[in-house]
Structure 1
Amino acid sequence: MSNSFSNDDLQTELIKDFIIESVEGLDLYDQKILDFENEADLGTMNVIFRVIHTIKGTAGCLALPKIESVSHAGENLLSMIREGEITPNKSMITTLLSLSDALRESIQILEQTGREGDQDFSDLLAQLDAHQKGEALPTPEPEPEEQAYGLFEDEEETPAEQADEAWGLFGDEEEETTPQAETESKEPATAQLPANTGTSLAESSIRIGVTQLDKVMNIVGELVLARNQIVLNTTNFDEAALLKASQRLNIITTELQENVMKTRMQPIGNVWAKFPRVVRDVSNELGKEVRLIMDGQDTELDRTVIEAIKDPLTHIVRNSIDHGIESPEQRLASHKPAEGLLSLRAYHEGGQIIIEIMDDGAGINVERVKDKAVSRGLITSAHAANLTEKEAINLVFQPGFSTAEKVSNVSGRGVGMDVVRTNIEKSGGTVDLSSEAGQGTTVKIKIPLTLAIIPALTVTTSGDRYAIPQVSLLELVRLEGEAAHSGIEELYGSPIYRLRGKLLPIIFLNEQLRTEALADEADDEDKVVNIVVLQADGRQFGLVVDEINDTEEIVVKPLSKQLKGIPCFAGATIMGDGKVALILDVMGIAQHSRVVSENADRTISSQEETETVQREDTETLLLFSIGSDNRIAIPLNQAARLEEFEVDTVEHSGRHQVVQYRGEILPLIEIADYVPTSQPQADKTSREKLQVIVYSTHTGTYGLIVDQIQDIVEQAISARRESRCETLAGSIVLQGHVTDLLDAEAIIERYESGAIPQTV
């Protein structure tokens, strides 16, 4: 991008700041205008007014008269609305949105050329003036015919024919077109989505809080100190000091990584913020009624990924309104509400970002898709007859599969779903299309966190290592001896394991990957089965692997084109020894093994058997011990995580033990100091590792040190006795033994106050 700015010019720097702040302000303005249209609120109008008032004032100071005059005219109308002198209507809101467009256009020209452009805003100024005076809006000069909006320029099509246009897949094949129209439909065949030829000032800037920058700076300081220690101790070869310095370096690097990543992560809502305006404009142009629902706006992803998917998402949203959702008349004739529904949803799953765009429109007629593909020479008739419904729908991703016979400014200019897929795949993502005729269409986009570093569990199967994103990990189960032989059963021909009374579908990773299982020569006593309990699409299943290695932070790399289509893999990573490990796609494995579909039904069909084990008063408890025989439990949902810390990593803050944990300082509380026991406490000095329950409360996060974490137990509690000890919530019978219930909140309260109860 070129402009005439001089870097050492104060005026230049002021104008750059003005451009960045104005773009941000106009983004907020558009959002609040639409909010105000839905629900008139004085507070919202005050925000809208301040945006335009700020732009007007700054433009005046910087000698930008055109921007100042346009924003001043808009400010006058907004002031009258704010004071209640006039009542806004839909036409007035449209004019105020046009004001935003005009200011954006002027700011863009200012950024590109360093000066205001010569664009004519007389029509806009006349409309703003007419609204202030309560007069009819002036009639704008008609635009050239080829620039007209709308789907159907030459003639009406019947509702049935319009329904066949769903998703831009079907045109009127029998319609005669002029040579000029044929030329227009063929020329854009190689068109691409709008590409960023340069980064604008607003896009190249990001706001970071001073507190966040201070954190990064402090960590960098610690990093320099750790580096100096390593250099010194390497020269002197002090092994003990070098080991301690390297541990310190590991902690600092992790903390620095997390904080730097936070500066790059942005909510996807930054992209979605413009969609309410897009939906309003396109639906108004087409005479449709569309309601937009957005869920997951706070889902964060790297800003480079956001930039990569921005244009494809916009195209899909416009296409959903143009070709997916029917007109109010068609919807009423089909016994649907006149208002169509467009839904956007974003969430994390398996180390990937899933974005779903769903509409409740006409859907896709599979047979018409096949006919179109055959008529355009993409496939043969024999091939079309053998296609599954899914394969037929995916034909829309073929280059040249554009069926829009009509050219409009909304869509139909040769930009098809093949271009959308190409743009998404450039960032390492995938796009999937599903539809049900008459019910709607869903576009599902998977974007890997190509620049992200995520925690993962590494496992080994058939001699190869794989990584499983921890976001899908629930727990680990180890079966030994007889349990390893008899623990996994068969139900309706599928393997299952009874996990605390629930039937858990089992998948063998080596079978899914079609790798040879290692020879198992272990006898009954030594045989081990490792089950990784995972969750996909709200359902749990167990993945059997040969070995469970360790958890570590991994850098996610996109797969090559040759491996991208394999459903079991979500990416790859390079391990500490330099070798490559594939990252498992938990959802893909669940779908490939049919756990999500078939086994879900089997689980439901076995509900009667499961209900004999479960009761309404069943509780899931984490069981641990203090001393030699003190059994204590807390509800599992109170334990955020279970951790094990090396004793060498424990530090002191005042008289309290602390450990550096996930970029924070985690206070450690010895449960044995607060719980009465008749048995002598274990020798704390002989410990090599600390078993810790990470407990989160409204006052912060704490680590509860226990002697041994024993089990997770799900059981109906029938006998319960109150306790006279303030740090115990009572006693129950668990697994046939009397077990105390810990009152963690009471212990933390005493810990914070400095009081330690007397043990008995």
Structure 2
Amino acid sequence: MDDIDDIVREFLIESYENLDQLDQDLVALEGAPGSRDLLSSVFRTIHTIKGTSGFLAFSDLERVAHVGESLLVELRDGRREMDQHTTDVLLRMVDTIRDLLGCIESTGAESGIEVDGVIAVIQAALDGTDVTEAADAGTPDHAVIAAPTPAPAAAAPTPAAPAPAAPPAPAAVRVAPAPIKPVAAVQVDVPDAPTSRATSDSSIRVDVDLLDALMRQVGELVLVRNQIAQLAGSDSDAELTRSSQRLSLIASELQEGVMKTRMQPIDHIWSKMPRIVRDLSSACGREVRLDMIGGDTELDRSLLESVKDPLTHLVRNAIDHGIESAADRLAAGKPSTGVLTLRAYHAGGQVMVEVRDDGAGINPERVAAKAIERGLKTVEQLEAMAPADLLNLVFLPGFSTAAAVTNVSGRGVGMDVVRSNIESIGGAVEVDSEVGRGTTWRLRIPLTLAIMPALTVRSGSEIYAIPQVNLQELVALDTQKTQEAIEHIGSAEVYRLRGSLLPLVRLSDVLGQPRGDAGSAVIAVLQADNQRFGLVVDRVLNNEEIVVKPLAAQLKSIGVFAGATLMGDGQVALILDVQTIARRTLTGEIVDTDQRATAGRATSSAEVNELLVVGIGSGRRVAIPLALVTRLELIAADRVELVGGHEVIQYRDAIVPISRLARSLGSYDDDAGEEIPLVVFTRGARTVAMVVSEIVEIVSDDGAGHSTVDDIGLLGSIVLSGRVTELLDVPAALTQVDPRFYDDASDDPSAELGGTLAAGLDPRSAEMVGV
């Protein structure tokens, strides 16, 4: 019996691999019906399944494969053309075979799967008769959107290094709906293919559980190596030091070798995409060409499985929501066929996977309106958001822009699950979109979960680990000037780093610990969720390779930890979840209530105001109330244009007049650089930008030390940071450029949602200083 079980197991493994390739070959053959190589590949696969299933006495499987083979014989002999109906019938046969294999895998028999219907459908196709009744009476319906693809369980392990089974599917698939019913026709450029399937003698099948166990043991070895390295570092024994170094080298090489055995190309999950795109395009009435780039990019097998469902959802979302119908695309001046591109590549120690379409894009104003309609955000919250922040609302639970609920989308369950699934493996999801041009979803995925490089830091008496993949740089605060270096915008702390304002988050505040010595603090500059911020820690320790251990349920509920690890000295260090920390702190979820109340009183009081200090040349400094400023931008000098003798720029799909503040105040404009700092003011639908020489600082004005001057465009002067600074008469300066700036704001609702309120500079915006 054991011998028979082994044979069945090998049959299941080989058949699953062949079916995945069969999906690709049939979709490709529909687009290139004259390809003899593709047809021969399909025929060999079905013939092999038929022969082996007969040998193993799986009669239903043999019957389905036999009648399908008869249809393929007609294609091979030229008695039939490979049209869309024939493709549909053959794909239905593949689905039934896959269901039968799944049943055999789980129960050891074919029971429970009805095959008479699909056999009748195939036979009707052979006879050229009406297949409507046969189709209705057949096997259980398969999803048009994505055929079920049961993954082999422990009884049928996935090979670590599978031998190439067939020529790779073409990277470009053209899908176009038929005139009568939306079933896609497929067109491909087929490369020359070998006449037979290659078999490699240099690869073997290895049980995945064995690889997982081996990886766990390597992880324990890395922990022991770290412990011995720490002991050797504190001992003067030269022989122990040399042995420790040798152990470290061997452990690193073994770790690298084991990790390589777990790596699989992302093409393993991409191979199912042509079939999914074909079926979904047919259901949605779209014409879509699928391009796949970088399919040989490798990922840890466990991560590959975790990425499969989110990637499939993004592909479905791009076709259903992104790419327009052929008529709409032609009306917009686009080709009737939309392009969906999958791209994978390595960047910064991570694997980047992009899903890009050239469809309608995501309209931020429509997103904002939907967020209000579903009660997810208020108007006030939306008005304070930049367009990039509005796009991220699509990740909120319950959010959907679909007009109606269908079997494809519309229930508001999807993008939030995509993000949570990717973040659960230490990755991140980003979205870029341009209305009318398309959308790009970008997945950042770690190479492996088991062992990762990390920076260990200390906060209070505890040690924490920051994944190196999120770390950009370290900044040591000047012991003497720490308080001066950190500025405040409302209740938020920021640090000026090479001219940019960097939002700060104190790790001690996140963890509810007392703050340490400010003089010895270090800023770890981190990147998460397309947001750059500084995490203030008490002390930086070492760069180490750490072994990731799962968290207990009690710690998981805290939400700011991604795992734990054991240090060389036996201490346990918690691994920080940088994405969660960024999302909570930079959106104000972790804010001390007393601090927030104090900030609110200060904001409402007329005694203390925030002032933006700018330079205007000739050494002059001018202060502008921060509450009136919408944004700060840095633009190229050649973007300034002349219209009717007035300077303007194209800014956010509008023509915006600009004013050179130095000239308005009778000073020399000495800004001759390639880039120009702008202070942008917006009221309703009207926008004005002021050119300044430099952005100096943001300071608080307590109302003391004021003097008045009788000068056009100025309200007086004040001493700020030890220097006399002029106070700008903002209304006078703005109406000089646009006399209607302070007319009633536009009644256009898009201005209410789309415009950014002049409610102060938002330190969370990546465009806060135009970089």
Q: Which residue of 1 aligns with 2:86?
A: 92
Contact (CA 8 Å) 1:351, 1:469: kept in 2 or not?
A: no
1:12 aligns with 2:5: yes
3-state secondary structure, aligned to 1:338: coil
1:269 aligns with 2:257: no
Q: Which residue of 2 aligns with 1:371?
A: 369
Partner Cα distance (1:473, 1:76) in 2: 60
Contact (CA 8 Å) 1:510, 1:516: kept in 2 or not?
A: no
* 1:20 Cα deviation from its structure 2 partner: 1.8
* 1:310 Cα deviation from its structure 2 partner: 1.7
Partner Cα distance (2:502, 2:392) in 1: 30
- Aligned partner of 1:110: which letter? I
Partner Cα distance (2:275, 2:393) in 1: 31
Q: How does 1:331-350 map to 2 (within 5 A)?
A: 331-350=329-348
When residues 131 and 143 of structure 1 are mapped into structure 2, their CA distance, relative to the original with a 3 A threshold, is: closer
Contact (CA 8 Å) 2:457, 2:464: kept in 1 or not?
A: yes
Q: Which residue of 2 aligns with 1:65?
A: 59
- Aligned partner of 1:92: which letter? T
3-state secondary structure, aligned to 2:89: helix
C-alpha offsets along residues 361-414 of structure 1, whole Å, 9 cap, x if unaligned? 222233333333333333344444444433433333333334546443333456
Q: Which residue of 2 aligns with 1:359?
A: 357
Q: Which residue of 1 aligns with 2:109?
A: 115
Contact (CA 8 Å) 2:426, 2:562: kept in 1 or not?
A: no
3-state secondary structure, aligned to 2:361: coil
Q: Which residue of 2 aligns with 1:329?
A: 327
Q: Which residue of 2 aligns with 1:441?
A: 439
Partner Cα distance (1:91, 1:252) in 2: 58
When residues 196 and 413 of structure 1 are mapped into structure 2, their CA distance, relative to the original with a 3 A threshold, is: farther
When residues 581 and 408 of structure 1 are mapped into structure 2, their CA distance, relative to the original with a 3 A threshold, is: closer
When residues 601 and 60 of structure 1 are mapped into structure 2, their CA distance, relative to the original with a 3 A threshold, is: farther
* 1:84 Cα deviation from its structure 2 partner: 4.0
Partner Cα distance (1:261, 1:71) in 2: 39
Give the number of aligned pairs: 515
3-state secondary structure, aligned to 1:408: coil
TM value normalised by structure 2:
0.53
Partner Cα distance (2:432, 2:518) in 1: 39
When residues 364 and 95 of structure 1 are mapped into structure 2, their CA distance, relative to the original with a 3 A threshold, is: same
When residues 38 and 535 of structure 1 are mapped into structure 2, their CA distance, relative to the original with a 3 A threshold, is: farther
Q: How does 1:503-522 map to 2 (within 5 A)?
A: none
When residues 550 and 426 of structure 1 are mapped into structure 2, their CA distance, relative to the original with a 3 A threshold, is: closer
Q: Which residue of 1 aligns with 2:426?
A: 428
* 1:547 Cα deviation from its structure 2 partner: 11
Contact (CA 8 Å) 1:575, 1:581: kept in 2 or not?
A: no
Q: How does 1:583-594 map to 2 (within 5 A)?
A: none
* 1:553 Cα deviation from its structure 2 partner: 3.7
* 1:343 Cα deviation from its structure 2 partner: 1.7
3-state secondary structure, aligned to 1:284: helix
* 1:61 Cα deviation from its structure 2 partner: 0.4
- Which residue of 30, 34, 38 maps to 2:31? 38
Q: Which residue of 2 aligns with 1:320?
A: 318
3-state secondary structure, aligned to 2:16: helix
| Percent of aligned positions that are identical | 45
* 1:466 Cα deviation from its structure 2 partner: 9.6
3-state secondary structure, aligned to 2:431: strand
- Aligned partner of 1:88: which letter? M
Q: How does 1:673-684 map to 2 (within 5 A)?
A: none
- In angstroms, what is the RMSD of aligned CA positions? 5.9
C-alpha offsets along residues 654-676 of structure 1, whole Å, 9 cap, x if unaligned? xxxxxxxxxxxxxxxxxxxxxxx
C-alpha offsets along residues 209-257 of structure 1, whole Å, 9 cap, x if unaligned? 65898xx999999x99xx9xx9xxx9xx996655544333222211211
3-state secondary structure, aligned to 2:244: helix
Q: Which residue of 2 aligns with 1:418?
A: 416
Partner Cα distance (1:337, 1:118) in 2: 47
3-state secondary structure, aligned to 2:50: helix
* 1:438 Cα deviation from its structure 2 partner: 2.4
* 1:78 Cα deviation from its structure 2 partner: 2.3
* 1:353 Cα deviation from its structure 2 partner: 3.0
Q: How does 1:92-171 map to 2 (within 5 A)?
A: 92-132=86-126, 135=128, 138-140=131-133
Partner Cα distance (2:214, 2:423) in 1: 38
When residues 599 and 51 of structure 1 are mapped into structure 2, their CA distance, relative to the original with a 3 A threshold, is: farther
C-alpha offsets along residues 158-180 of structure 1, whole Å, 9 cap, x if unaligned? xxxxxxxxxxxxxxxxxxxxxxx
Contact (CA 8 Å) 2:325, 2:336: kept in 1 or not?
A: yes
Contact (CA 8 Å) 1:466, 1:584: kept in 2 or not?
A: no
Q: Which residue of 1 aligns with 2:652?
A: none
Partner Cα distance (2:409, 2:503) in 1: 45
Partner Cα distance (2:549, 2:636) in 1: 36
* 1:275 Cα deviation from its structure 2 partner: 0.9
1:246 aligns with 2:240: no
C-alpha offsets along residues 581-602 of structure 1, whole Å, 9 cap, x if unaligned? 978989x99xx9xxxxx99977
* 1:124 Cα deviation from its structure 2 partner: 3.2
- Aligned partner of 1:139: which letter? T
* 1:207 Cα deviation from its structure 2 partner: 4.5
Instruction: Show structure 2 runs of 5+ residues with no match.
Output: 163-201, 475-494, 509-514, 530-534, 587-631, 640-670, 675-771
Instruction: Show structure 1 runs of 5+ residues with no match.
Output: 1-7, 152-193, 477-492, 497-504, 521-529, 538-542, 593-597, 610-760
- Aligned partner of 1:288: which letter? R
Contact (CA 8 Å) 1:394, 1:433: kept in 2 or not?
A: yes
When residues 243 and 424 of structure 1 are mapped into structure 2, their CA distance, relative to the original with a 3 A threshold, is: closer
Contact (CA 8 Å) 2:267, 2:296: kept in 1 or not?
A: yes
Partner Cα distance (1:547, 1:383) in 2: 36
Contact (CA 8 Å) 2:120, 2:134: kept in 1 or not?
A: no
Partner Cα distance (1:599, 1:259) in 2: 49
- Aligned partner of 2:21: which letter? L
Partner Cα distance (2:100, 2:416) in 1: 34
